């Protein structure tokens, strides 16, 4: 190895060096390799030429005209399989060796055009053939249609001789055949099939499989396009049988292509989708016969390779067979499964699974045959220790019973008890996957086979006949899972019971009472680990059976006379609270109300006796009882009969029990929204409005000491709003009149008047026109009141009246439109800031109803609306922008044309640009929003004039004005087309470039985002040339960041595409035709194929191994036992080995973990749409409160700080003002002794040993020696300390 160090003398002068800091200024001048590569870009490659003897022969024949294209004369009559793109005329360019490929206009070969950059010889051959064929078609005046390519490629197929050219032509034929019109393929079936079969016969034993697989795919497409009559000819079946014979070929790719082809023919032939489609394909019986013969021919061979290939084919085509053939095939599958070959059994199970999952008609799989297969499969139940076979068996039986339930419900229910019993045995498996799969199977069967038919059944008892008896057997099987031998799987059993309660609880509660008792007793067991699961199961029972059934079965055992305070069943109260619905409201009145009263009296007794703990317990219990009321009010069944007995108690609770007030109010709201489903129920509850509303009004009008907290008052007000929806309007008018009297009464305090105004706001939308007129005159003086709260509430009343959809409110607004306009204009000067939000909303609803004669009113509102765009209140700013947009729509309504109307409206806005600084910034903001909303109604000359004025405003010395102007430029870049904006780029960039240093520094992040948009729209060089030099550094940084983000996106996309390409192609499961007819794009080399084939066979041999499980306690295995097949395991029996801890990190060759840092996020700016951009602009404007500024700093730091990875974030360090304010404690400081040196042990904490923190920097090879030295010093120090401690102990012992 050469000695590292300085260069030898004289060598340094020969090296080219850059000045310090200028290494990236330009590319090096010496670039001989690049020039050499560029000169060879379009030349012929030197290593291997495409100019073969076959290519020259083909070229000569095509040029001499001996090969003529067979063109269809009336091709317009042919129906295309897919809509082809319109043929585009292309200009003739200079010819190269890629002419005919790069400019091929037929979209069928779009995927081939990406092959020309490939280094694969097969891809180059495909490109050469396509280019030659395209040139021939053009030379003869062709239109490059699919039919012409088909004719040319078929002619070429007969002429080529080399395997490479044959593969290329076959691949192109495979692509184009899918798009050739069906009549052409029907007419040319004889010639095409003869040509294909001759190639198949010649290539059948060839080592190269590329041509064979593409020709087989062509054969399948050709057969799929034939009509029904063609299948009555022997030649068609003969061709099909030739394709079918390759389904057991030894080469995987050939076999796969043949199986895909057979499946596509049987399931995707065109005549199978017509009106007169047969029930099954004519070739289905012969296909089934072939499969049965091949399986019988293979017999019980040790490898069973052919059998596995046929089973793979049957898995895809079995649902296509008629019923008689399906029965024969299923019998064959069952016979094959007796061989106890693990892979054969698994493949046969997959075939059964696909048959049941296909949900075929009765013509394919009758219900009787389905039931017979289910019965037969019980002879092949795997052992509970055999993981994968048992999972497959469970999945197959689940699909079998679901399909049987679809065909015949009674027969399905008759077979379900046995499956439930067998599946429950799987809960004893040592594999958690098996337990989870068994539970999932039972849940699926309950939801798909049982639940749809439960509404038709009556109450199920233990002695009920079938089908109720089947439900009893199923539930008994699941209930047995609560015994101790299933304790390891109790969580899964409880989940199945929960589904059972949800599905059948309403009808089957007589047979489930004992199980409920067992669950409640089980929950009381000490250290029971599944209390949450029990609560969920009991909750499901409550929601379906009702609380009455539960409490009859499991009494609450709380009556207020307890000697101890254990209350073992108190856990039922929260469960009832969370799950009660659809119950009888009368049950709460008769059972829980007396209980709550008893518990409250008991609590009072303990309070008087001075026993505060016992009093608190009973008070909590009575409160929990009351919390059940909202659940009972959710869809109750007896509102008409029970509510009148409960109403008085609820009214007293609201007025006299502040602790129960939120619960009772919630119950009333729930009853109104979710319990009154009919008009009669709404009328019954609304009948008591005269009782409840005065109580609620009185409670809300009281100060917080008596009326409760602010949260309770809000709850009361929400309840008032809910009750008003079902109250008689005349009663509302009476309440409104009394409220108006109290408002004008001098005896009312300010709190009372504000509370009454809140109630008036709630009642106003439901009053009639006469009452609204009286109310308007009552609140009109308050619009100019100096008390801000009163003014705001008055505007809230007007807002509710103007926004209400009811007819009286709309009639009032129309009749008082002039008065409202005058009142709102008169109160403009006295409008307080808190009243702006409801005032603007009120104006918004009024402007909606204005016509052309009211234009002066809208004009008078413009200055106020513009200034309100920078109000302190977020709601006021939002309403101001909404009103501004609505005013624009009003001017468009006023006419005469939208363009003239917007021109007239903008002239009113422009006046604001001559006002104060605040008015200018608000006006720019208003113009930005109007430009965004009405861009389609603005002429470009108006936009140009507006843009020039905004650019002038960038020279302002006020930050608010500049900020608003930058926002306008941002929206302009987003909305205006690049071509229209190009002539104004210089003006815009010059205005931005002339910003003062203070402005540029303050708005650096906004300018950066703006420059990003300019560069994306107009390019880096143009933007750089139009901006001063002080901006160039930022622009270069932006370009680097953009380039880096583009590269990262490209890498991610390439990685995703590579993952998609490398993903193995799945076998078609019969879920959709797209999977069957999908193109195979596998273009890998033959060596890779053979290598993968060897690997697959190796894995198959490993998977094919089987084990015999001996008898327990060393008992010999009885081979005459009928269940001996369960002793053949695919999983090696024995103790389960624990696997190592798996992590998601890669590992290097020397054993170090490779941990990738998180990639920086993409620029959010690219993904933002126009609406989000506008929202960002509007969010930036206006003064913010301290809270909003803090929240924005926390949630959106990107607007104020540089992007991570672009600018380094400042970290405090040094002395003085740069010192760090928060010092982190040293590692291990908590063990430091306060009295002397060294560390001390602390009780309850780890020993103070030297734990070395992990640090990525210590993996650096260059610093390895330094790190080793540190650790050596650490060890030496520890050793010296240990020696010193030992000497000290010896001295103390001697003394």
For 833-869, the three-class secondary structure string (H helix, E strand, C coil) is: HHHHHHHHHHHHHHHHCCCHHHHHHHHHHHHHHHHHC
- Radius of gyration, alpha carbons of the chain: 42
- Residue % of the chain over a pLDDT of 70: 75
Q: pLDDT tens across 311-350, in order?
A: 999 999 999 999 999 999 999 999 988 888 888 899 999 9
Long-range contacts of 192-195 (CB under 8 A, 24+ apart): 192/154, 192/222, 193/219, 193/222, 193/235, 193/239, 195/154, 195/157, 195/158
Structure-model confidence comparison of residues 36 and 900, the more confident one: 900
Task: With beta carbons less than 8 A apart as the criterion, state whether 909 and 934 touch.
Answer: no
Structure-model confidence comparison of residues 78 and 767, the more confident one: 767
Centre a 10 Å sphere on the Cβ of residue 71 and count the other Cβ atoms it contains: 16
Angle at 845 between CA 839 and CA 846, to 5 degrees: 85
Quote the CA–CA distance of 156 and 137 in Å, as a whole number. 12
Query: Secondary structure of 180-245 in the HEC alphabet?
Result: CCHHHHHHCHHHHHHHHHHHHHHHCCCCCCHHHHHHHHHHHHHHHCCCCHHHHCHHHHHHHHHHHH
pLDDT value for 1138: 42
* Lowest-pLDDT choice from 434-443, 1082-1091, 1282-1291: 1082-1091
Long-range contacts of 92-101 (CB under 8 A, 24+ apart): 96/42, 97/42, 97/44, 97/50, 97/128, 97/131, 98/127, 98/131, 99/131, 99/135, 100/130, 100/131, 100/132, 100/133, 100/134, 100/135, 100/138, 101/127, 101/130, 101/131, 101/134
pLDDT value for 102: 53
Residue range 350-373: average pLDDT? Answer: 91
Residue range 127-133: average pLDDT? Answer: 86
Residue range 904-931: average pLDDT? Answer: 90
The upper half-sphere exposure of residue 1202, i.e. CA atoms within 13 Å in the direction of its Cβ, equals 13
- Exposure pattern of 1241-1255 as b/e (b: 16+ CB <10 Å)? eeeeeeebeeeeeee
Helix or strand (DSSP H, E) at 543: helix 531-545
Give the CA-trace dihedral at 614, 617, 622, 623, to 10 degrees.
140
pLDDT value for 683: 92
Most confident of 461-475, 538-552, 698-712, 1200-1214: 538-552
pLDDT at 1126 over 80: no
Residues forming a β-bridge with 1154: 1146
**pLDDT band at residue 978 using 50, 70 and 90 as cut-offs:** confident
Task: With beta carbons less than 8 A apart as the criterion, state whether 455 and 509 touch.
Answer: no
pLDDT value for 1227: 60
DSSP label of 94: -
**pLDDT band at residue 533 using 50, 70 and 90 as cut-offs:** very high
| Residue-by-residue DSSP string for 692-718 | HHHHHHHHHHS-HHHH--HHHHHHHHH
Structure-model confidence comparison of residues 574 and 1283, the more confident one: 574
Q: pLDDT tens across 1156-1200, in order?
A: 543 333 344 444 555 555 566 555 544 444 444 444 434 443 333
**pLDDT band at residue 599 using 50, 70 and 90 as cut-offs:** very high
Task: With beta carbons less than 8 A apart as the criterion, state whether 222 and 196 touch.
Answer: yes
pLDDT at 272 over 90: no
pLDDT at 71 over 70: no
For CA atoms 114, 118, 120, 121, the dihedral sign is positive
**pLDDT band at residue 1140 using 50, 70 and 90 as cut-offs:** very low
Query: If we measure between CA atoms, which residue out of 43, 58, 62, 180 comes closest to residue 125?
Result: 58
Query: If we measure between CA atoms, which residue out of 1183, 1181, 1172, 1180 comes closest to residue 932?
Result: 1172
pLDDT at 461 over 80: yes
- Residue % of the chain over a pLDDT of 90: 32
Q: What are phi and psi of 1069, to 5 degrees?
A: -95, 0
pLDDT value for 77: 33
Quote the CA–CA distance of 847 and 821 in Å, as a whole number. 10
pLDDT value for 326: 92
Residue range 865-881: average pLDDT? Answer: 89
pLDDT at 915 over 70: yes
Residue range 1248-1272: average pLDDT? Answer: 67
Quote the CA–CA distance of 781 and 795 in Å, as a whole number. 11
Structure-model confidence comparison of residues 1180 and 780, the more confident one: 780
Task: With beta carbons less than 8 A apart as the criterion, state whether 483 and 425 touch.
Answer: no
pLDDT at 378 over 90: yes
Q: pLDDT tens across 659-686, in order?
A: 999 999 999 999 999 988 889 999 999 9
Q: pLDDT tens across 602-628, in order?
A: 999 999 988 899 999 999 999 999 999
pLDDT value for 82: 33
pLDDT at 92 over 90: no
Helix or strand (DSSP H, E) at 1108: strand 1107-1108
Query: If we measure between CA atoms, which residue out of 619, 498, 628 comes closest to residue 574?
Result: 628
Residues forming a β-bridge with 1153: 1147
Structure-model confidence comparison of residues 38 and 428, the more confident one: 428
Residue range 776-785: average pLDDT? Answer: 85
- Give the contacts of 866 (CB within 8 A, at least 6 positions apart): 884, 909, 912, 919, 922, 923, 926
Residue range 1140-1149: average pLDDT? Answer: 52
Residues forming a β-bridge with 1232: 1239
Query: If we measure between CA atoms, which residue out of 892, 1076, 1167, 930 comes closest to residue 317?
Result: 1076
The structure tokens 């829980």 sit at: 592
- List the structure tokens of 1107: 């084990």
**pLDDT band at residue 781 using 50, 70 and 90 as cut-offs:** confident
Structure-model confidence comparison of residues 23 and 812, the more confident one: 812
Q: pLDDT tens across 468-477, in order?
A: 899 999 999 9
pLDDT value for 1163: 42
pLDDT value for 1219: 58
Quote the CA–CA distance of 668 and 650 in Å, as a whole number. 9
Query: If we measure between CA atoms, which residue out of 1004, 947, 936 comes closest to residue 1201?
Result: 1004
Q: What are phi and psi of 983, to 5 degrees?
A: -75, -10
pLDDT value for 66: 43
Task: With beta carbons less than 8 A apart as the criterion, state whether 533 and 570 touch.
Answer: no
Q: Look at residue 560 and give its three-state secondary structure.
A: coil
Centre a 10 Å sphere on the Cβ of residue 845 and count the other Cβ atoms it contains: 19
The structure tokens 């003398």 sit at: 9
Query: If we measure between CA atoms, which residue out of 214, 213, 265 comes closest to residue 239?
Result: 265
Query: If we measure between CA atoms, which residue out of 777, 775, 773, 781 comes closest to residue 759?
Result: 775
pLDDT value for 512: 92
Quote the CA–CA distance of 91 and 89 in Å, as a whole number. 7
Structure-model confidence comparison of residues 301 and 1288, the more confident one: 1288
Quote the CA–CA distance of 945 and 939 in Å, as a whole number. 10
What is the Cα 1292 distance to its own chain's centre?
A: 72
**pLDDT band at residue 786 using 50, 70 and 90 as cut-offs:** confident
Long-range contacts of 1253-1256 (CB under 8 A, 24+ apart): 1253/1227, 1256/1155
Length, in residues, of the chain: 1295
pLDDT value for 1070: 42
**pLDDT band at residue 95 using 50, 70 and 90 as cut-offs:** very low
For CA atoms 1110, 1111, 1117, 1123, the dihedral sign is negative
pLDDT at 74 over 50: no
**pLDDT band at residue 1118 using 50, 70 and 90 as cut-offs:** low
How far is CA 604 from each of CA 69, 122, 185, rounded to the nearest angstrom? 106, 94, 95
Average pLDDT value for the chain:
80
The structure tokens 């699926």 sit at: 444
pLDDT value for 15: 45
């Amino acid at each position: 190895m050469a000695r590292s160090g300085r260069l030898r003398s004289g060598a340094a002068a020969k090296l080219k060096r850059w000045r310090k800091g200028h290494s990236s200024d330009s590319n090096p001048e010496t670039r001989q390799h690049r020039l050499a590569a560029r000169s060879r870009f379009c030349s012929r490659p030197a290593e291997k030429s495409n100019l073969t003897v076959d290519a020259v022969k083909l070229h000569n024949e095509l040029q001499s005209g001996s090969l003529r294209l067979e063109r269809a004369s009336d091709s317009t009559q042919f129906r295309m399989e897919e809509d082809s793109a319109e043929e585009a005329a292309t200009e003739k360019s200079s010819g190269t060796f890629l002419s005919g490929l790069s400019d091929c206009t037929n979209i069928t070969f779009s995927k081939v055009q990406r092959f020309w950059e490939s280094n694969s010889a097969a891809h180059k051959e495909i490109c050469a053939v396509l280019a030659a064929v395209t040139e021939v078609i053009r030379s003869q005046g062709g239109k490059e249609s699919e039919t012409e390519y088909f004719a040319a490629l078929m002619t070429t197929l007969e002429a080529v001789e080399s395997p490479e050219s044959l593969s290329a032509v076959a691949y192109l034929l495979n692509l184009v055949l899918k798009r050739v019109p069906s009549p052409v393929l029907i007419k040319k079936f004889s010639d095409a099939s003869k040509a294909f079969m001759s190639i198949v016969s010649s290539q059948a034993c060839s080592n190269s499989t590329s041509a064979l697989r593409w020709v087989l795919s062509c054969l399948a497409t050709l057969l799929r396009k034939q009509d029904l009559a063609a299948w009555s000819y022997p030649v068609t079946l003969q061709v099909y049988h030739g394709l079918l014979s390759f389904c057991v070929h030894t080469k995987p790719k050939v076999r796969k292509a043949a199986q895909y082809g057979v499946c596509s023919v049987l399931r995707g032939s065109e005549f199978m989708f017509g009106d007169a489609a047969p029930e099954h394909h004519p070739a289905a019986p012969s296909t089934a016969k072939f499969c049965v013969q091949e399986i019988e021919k293979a017999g019980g061979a040790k490898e069973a390779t052919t059998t596995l290939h046929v089973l793979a084919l049957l898995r895809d085509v079995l649902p296509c067979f008629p019923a008689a053939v399906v029965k024969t095939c299923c019998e064959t599958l069952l016979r094959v499964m007796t061989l106890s070959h693990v892979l054969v059994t698994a493949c046969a199970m997959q075939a059964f699974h696909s048959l049941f999952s296909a949900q075929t008609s009765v013509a394919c799989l009758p219900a009787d045959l389905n039931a017979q297969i289910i019965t037969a499969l019980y002879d092949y139940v795997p052992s509970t220790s055999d993981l994968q076979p048992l999972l497959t068996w469970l999945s197959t039986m689940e699909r079998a019973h679901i399909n049987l339930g679809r065909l015949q419900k009674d027969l399905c229910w008759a077979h379900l008890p046995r499956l439930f019993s067998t599946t429950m045995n799987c809960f004893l498996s040592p594999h958690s996957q098996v337990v989870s799969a068994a539970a999932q199977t039972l849940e699926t069967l309950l939801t798909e086979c049982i639940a749809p038919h439960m509404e038709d059944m009556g109450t199920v008892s233990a002695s009920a006949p079938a089908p109720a008896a089947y439900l009893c057997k199923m539930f008994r099987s699941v209930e047995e899972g609560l015994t101790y031998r299933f304790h390891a799987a109790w969580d899964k059993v409880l989940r199945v019971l929960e589904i059972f309660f949800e599905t059948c609880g309403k009808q089957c509660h007589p047979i489930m009472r004992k199980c409920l008792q067992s669950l409640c007793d089980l929950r009381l067991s000490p250290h029971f680990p599944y209390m949450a699961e029990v609560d969920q199961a009991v909750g499901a029972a409550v929601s379906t059976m009702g609380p009455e059934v539960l409490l009859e079965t499991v009494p609450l055992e709380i009556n207020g006379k307890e000697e101890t305070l254990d209350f073992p069943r108190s856990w039922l109260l929260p469960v009832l609270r969370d799950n009660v619905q659809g119950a009888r409201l009368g049950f709460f009145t008769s059972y829980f109300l007396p209980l709550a009263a008893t518990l409250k009296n008991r609590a009072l007794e303990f309070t008087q006796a001075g026993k505060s703990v016992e009093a608190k317990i009973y008070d909590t219990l009575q409160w929990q009882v009351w919390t059940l009321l909202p659940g009972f009010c959710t869809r109750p069944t007896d509102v008409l009969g029970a509510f009148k007995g409960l109403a008085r108690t609820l009214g007293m609770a609201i007025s006299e029990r502040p602790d129960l007030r939120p619960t009772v109010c919630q119950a009333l709201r729930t009853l109104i929204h979710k319990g009154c489903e009919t008009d009669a129920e709404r009328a019954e509850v609304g009948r008591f409005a005269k009782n409840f509303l005065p109580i609620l009004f009185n409670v809300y009008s009281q100060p917080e000491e008596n009326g409760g907290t602010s949260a309770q008052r809000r709850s009361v007000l929400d309840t008032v709003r809910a009750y008003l929806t079902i109250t008689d309007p005349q009663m509302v008018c009476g309440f409104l009149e009394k409220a108006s009297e109290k408002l004008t009464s001098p005896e009312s305090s300010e709190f009372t008047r504000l509370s009454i105004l809140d109630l008036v706001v709630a009642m106003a939308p439901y009053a009639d026109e006469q009452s609204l007129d009286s109310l308007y005159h009552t609140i009109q003086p308050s619009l100019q009141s100096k008390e801000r709260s009163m003014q705001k509430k008055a505007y809230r009343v007007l807002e509710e009246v103007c926004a209400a959809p009811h007819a009286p409110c709309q009639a009032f607004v129309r009749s008082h439109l002039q008065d409202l306009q005058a009142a709102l204009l008169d109160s403009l000067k006295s409008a307080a800031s808190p009243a702006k939000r409801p005032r603007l909303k009120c104006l918004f609803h009024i402007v909606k109803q204005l016509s052309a004669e009211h234009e002066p009113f809208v004009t008078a509102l413009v200055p106020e609306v513009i200034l309100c765009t920078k109000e302190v209140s977020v709601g006021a700013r939002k309403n101001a922008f909404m009103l501004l947009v609505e005013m624009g729509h009003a001017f468009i309504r006023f006419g005469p044309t939208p363009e003239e109307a917007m021109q007239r409206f903008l002239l009113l806005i422009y006046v604001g640009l001559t006002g104060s600084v605040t008015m200018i910034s608000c006006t720019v903001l208003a113009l930005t929003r109007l430009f965004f909303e009405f861009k389609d109604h603005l002429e470009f000359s108006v936009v140009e004039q507006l843009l020039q004025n905004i650019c002038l405003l960038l020279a302002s010395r006020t930050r608010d004005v500049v900020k608003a102007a930058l926002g306008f430029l941002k929206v302009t870049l987003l909305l205006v087309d690049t071509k229209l904006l190009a002539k104004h780029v210089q003006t815009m960039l010059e205005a931005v470039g002339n910003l003062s240093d203070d402005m540029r520094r303050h708005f650096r992040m906004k300018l950066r985002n703006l420059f990003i948009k300019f560069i994306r729209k107009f390019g880096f060089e143009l933007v750089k040339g139009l901006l001063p030099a002080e901006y160039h550094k930022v622009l270069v940084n932006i370009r680097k960041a953009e380039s880096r983000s583009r590269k990262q996106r490209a890498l991610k996309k390439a990685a995703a595409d590579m993952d998609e390409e490398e993903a193995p192609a799945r076998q078609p499961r019969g879920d959709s035709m797209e999977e069957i007819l999908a193109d195979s794009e596998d273009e890998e080399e033959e060596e890779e194929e053979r290598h993968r084939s060897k690997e697959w066979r190796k894995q198959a041999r490993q998977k094919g191994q089987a084990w015999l499980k001996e008898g327990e306690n060393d008992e010999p295995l009885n081979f005459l036992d009928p269940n001996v097949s369960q002793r053949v395991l695919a999983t090696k029996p024995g103790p389960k080995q624990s696997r190592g801890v798996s992590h998601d990190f890669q590992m290097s060759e020397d054993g170090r973990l490779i941990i990738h840092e998180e990639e920086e996020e993409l620029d959010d700016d690219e993904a933002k749409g126009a609406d989000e951009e506008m929202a960002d602009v509007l969010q930036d404007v206006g003064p913010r409160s301290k809270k909003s500024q803090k929240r924005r700093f926390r949630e959106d730091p990107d607007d104020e700080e540089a992007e991570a990875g672009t600018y380094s974030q400042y970290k405090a360090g040094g002395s003085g003002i740069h010192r760090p304010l928060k010092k982190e404690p040293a590692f291990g400081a908590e063990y430091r002794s306060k009295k002397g040196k060294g560390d001390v042990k602390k009780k309850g904490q780890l020993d103070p040993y030297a734990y070395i923190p992990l640090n990525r920097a210590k993996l650096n090879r260059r610093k390895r020696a330094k790190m080793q030295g540190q650790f050596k010093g650490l060890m030496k120090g520890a050793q010296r300390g240990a020696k010193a401690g030992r000497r000290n102990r010896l001295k103390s012992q001697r003394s």
